């Protein structure tokens, strides 16, 4: 389990274990603007007990700027000029029809305040299903306090959009604005309402907002081993490479970097292996969920017979 430390208003996360990697908790939303001034604060009395520090360069300027060990991260980014250009030139007819479908089925996209009502709506969305896209959903089962704390970051430069149907929140997005780029920090909708295309409509509204602000880039998460997925591509997001720097903080960190121990085991595997492992995990998770549902149905049936 990671532990947290705050320096200069930036929250750092440090992995536990023999080799300790330190990075900003909110990567892609928070950045180290001046490494020469920040790095000395990671040693001495700061209390950050780490061997290696990693940080990202901001997306709008992706040409490498610093003389540290560099590797490349994948990000899904949409380049914007105007909403009309995105609508007419960057997306296809199928995506446009999905956005129109949301309107026709009565989905309303509107700005909303970050308050208890929204947090309860987010909790309902999170707790709909423990599995999404074939893997355990990390937000499932979170309490209201946790959701409020996690979504309460960067409020001074964030906007919340809600997808409403019959006055119920069926989807939401937290849009975080940065320097020359905005970020879809969280975008989730009810699986049961997928036929109404709320997520498509939320993206369209986010594009409209960014375009009206003159923001040239919109990010929608990161790529997965160099693939950003069909859904993102259909909304004109493209894979871009972002510089990630690694800075040893001691001799162990230097050795850690030379031996490639700064990367997780999964990142060190060949692409074909990772794809196969992900497919197996997805099938295993789906099978486990079916067995749980079957067991619950059997128990419920037995209880009903007992009551009868």
Residue carrying the six token digits 């149907």: 165
Whether residue 277 lies inside any domain: the answer is: no
Do 89 and 166 fall into the same domain?
yes
Q: Does 46 reside within a domain?
A: yes
Longest distance between any two alpha carbons in the chain, whole Å: 75
- For the chain, what percent of residues have pLDDT higher than 90? 69
Rounding to the nearest 10 degrees, give the CA dihedral for residues 76, 79, 85, 90: -30
Please give the structure tokens belonging to residue 82. Answer: 């105007």
| Judgement on whether residues 97 and 184 belong to the same structural domain of the protein | yes
Residues 207 and 99 in one domain: yes
Question: 86 and 22 share a domain?
Answer: no
State the pLDDT confidence band at 297, using cuts at 50, 70 and 90: very low
Distance of CA 90 to the CA centre of its chain: 23
Query: Contact, 66 vs 212, CB < 8 A?
Result: no
Final residue of a structural domain among 215, 231, 258: 215
Could you tell me if 27 and 153 lie in one domain? no
CA count, 13 A, side-chain hemisphere, 285: 15
Let me know whether 44 and 105 are in one domain.
no
pTM of structure: 0.83
Residue at 225 is within a domain: no
Structurally, the chain folds into a number of domains equal to 2
Q: Are 61 and 90 part of one and the same domain?
A: no
Say which residues have a Cβ less than 8 Å from residue 76's Cβ, sequence separation at least 6. Answer: 219, 220, 221, 222, 223, 228, 229, 232, 237, 238, 239, 240
CATH number of the domain residue 209 falls in:
3.40.630.30
**Structural domain span for residue 261:** 3-75+241-272
pLDDT in tens, 139-174: 999 999 999 999 999 999 999 999 999 999 999 999
pLDDT tens across 107-137, in order? 999 999 999 999 999 999 999 999 988 788 9
The answer to whether the CB of 217 falls within 8 A of the CB of 242 is no
The per-residue pLDDT for 255 is 94
For residue 296, the model assigns a pLDDT of 45
Task: Using the predicted structure, report yes or no on whether residue 217 has a pLDDT greater than 60.
Answer: yes
End-to-end CA distance of the chain: 48
Q: What is the pLDDT of residues 174-192, one digit of tens each?
A: 999 999 999 999 999 999 9
Sign of torsion over alpha carbons 69, 71, 75, 77: positive
| β-pair partners for 199 | none
Both 111 and 186 in one domain: the answer is yes
pLDDT digits (tens, 9 = 90+) for 36-83: 999 998 876 677 889 999 999 999 988 999 999 999 999 999 999 999
Q: What's the average model confidence in pLDDT over 199-211?
A: 98
pLDDT digits (tens, 9 = 90+) for 26-43: 999 999 989 999 999 887
Whether 173 and 249 map to the same domain: the answer is: no
Is 26 among the domain residues?
Answer: yes
CB 10 within 8 A of CB 29: no
Beta strand 10-14 with 21-24 is antiparallel
- Residue 7 covered by a domain: yes
Examine residue 306 and state whether it is found in any structural domain, yes or no: no
Taking 50 as the threshold, does the pLDDT of residue 306 lie above it?
A: no
Same-domain check for residues 85 and 209: yes
Token pair 């069909």 in the structure block, residue: 230
Does residue 8 sit in the same domain as residue 102? no
Residues 116 and 182 in one domain: yes
Q: What is the mean pLDDT of residues 206-214?
A: 97
- Tell which of 169, 197, 215 closes a domain: 215
The string of pLDDT tens digits covering residues 279-292 is: 565 566 556 655 65
CA distances, 197 to each of 85, 143, 165, 182, 240 (Å):
21, 27, 11, 22, 26
Q: Is residue 307 part of a domain?
A: no
**Domain membership flag for residue 175:** yes
Which tokens go with 283?
């099938």
């Amino acid at each position: 389990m990671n532990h947290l430390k705050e320096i200069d208003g930036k929250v750092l996360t440090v992995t536990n274990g023999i080799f300790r990697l330190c990075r900003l908790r909110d990567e892609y939303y928070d950045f180290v603007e001046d490494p020469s001034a920040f790095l000395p604060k990671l040693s001495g009395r700061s209390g950050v007990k780490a061997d290696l520090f990693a940080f990202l360069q901001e997306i709008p300027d992706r040409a490498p700027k610093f003389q540290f060990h560099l590797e490349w991260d994948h990000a899904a980014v949409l380049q914007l000029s105007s909403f009309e250009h995105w609508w007419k030139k960057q997306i296809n007819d199928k995506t446009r029809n999905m956005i129109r479908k949301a309107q026709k089925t009565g989905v309303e996209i509107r700005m909303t305040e970050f308050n208890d009502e929204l947090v309860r709506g987010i909790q309902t969305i999170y707790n709909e299903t423990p599995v999404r896209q074939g893997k355990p959903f990390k937000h499932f089962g979170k309490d209201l306090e946790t959701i409020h704390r996690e979504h309460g970051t960067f409020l001074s430069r964030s906007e919340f959009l809600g997808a409403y149907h019959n006055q119920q929140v069926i989807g939401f997005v937290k849009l975080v604005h940065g320097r020359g780029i905005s970020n879809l920090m969280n975008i989730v909708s009810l699986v049961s309402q997928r036929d109404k295309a709320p997520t498509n409509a939320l993206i369209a509204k986010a594009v409209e907002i960014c375009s009206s602000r003159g923001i040239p880039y919109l990010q929608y998460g990161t790529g997965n081993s160099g693939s950003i997925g069909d859904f993102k591509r259909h909304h004109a997001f493209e894979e871009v490479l972002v510089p990630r720097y690694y800075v040893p903080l001691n001799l162990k960190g230097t050795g850690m970097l030379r031996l490639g121990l700064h990367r997780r085991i999964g990142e060190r595997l060949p692409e074909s292996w990772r794809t196969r492992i992900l497919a197996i995990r997805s099938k295993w998770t789906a099978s486990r969920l079916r067995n749980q549902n079957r067991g619950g149905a059997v128990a419920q049936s037995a209880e009903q017979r007992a009551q009868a």
